[in-house]
Amino acid sequence: MTALIFKICHKAEWALAEREGIYAGSAKDREDRFMHFSTGEQVLGTLERYYADAGDLVLVAVDPKTLGATLKFEPSRDGALFPHLYGTLPMSFVQWVKPIRRADNGSFVLPRDCV
């Protein structure tokens, strides 16, 4: 089984993508000209670094094989290779979408099948 990659999105942003049938990325993605994804091992660090104050998030799971040559693993934070999508994300490539919850202490609670 191929390990999934993950996109963190605000719920309203993802709801719009579902209505349109395609996700073109966040404002940051469009500014950087590629869509930021994380591996299962990277999701929590990405959440803590870039979404610490957010409470309206979903985790979008994608099989990287479906993205073909538009997906590149490139050095980013601390030299780690992160998946970057150079294109849009059709809804048909999405395996699942689940809410990212917060524990009573404020820490992120990821869906069980994230890692």
pLDDT tens digits for 57-111? Answer: 999 999 999 999 999 999 987 888 999 999 999 999 999 999 999 999 989 988 8
CB count within 10 Å of CB 42 equals: 19
pLDDT for 2 equals 58
* Residue 97, in any domain of the structure: yes
pTM reported for the whole predicted model: 0.92
Q: CATH number, domain at 17?
A: 3.20.170.20
Is pLDDT at 51 greater than 60 in this prediction? yes
* Residue 9, in any domain of the structure: yes
* Residue 115, in any domain of the structure: no
Q: Sign of the C-alpha dihedral, residues 40, 32, 53, 62? A: negative
Please work out, in degrees rounded to the nearest 5, the angle formed at the alpha carbon of residue 95 by the alpha carbons of 94 and 101.
95
pLDDT for 76 equals 85
Domain membership of residue 103 as a residue range:
5-110
* Residue 34, in any domain of the structure: yes
* Residue 41, in any domain of the structure: yes
Is pLDDT at 53 greater than 50 in this prediction? yes
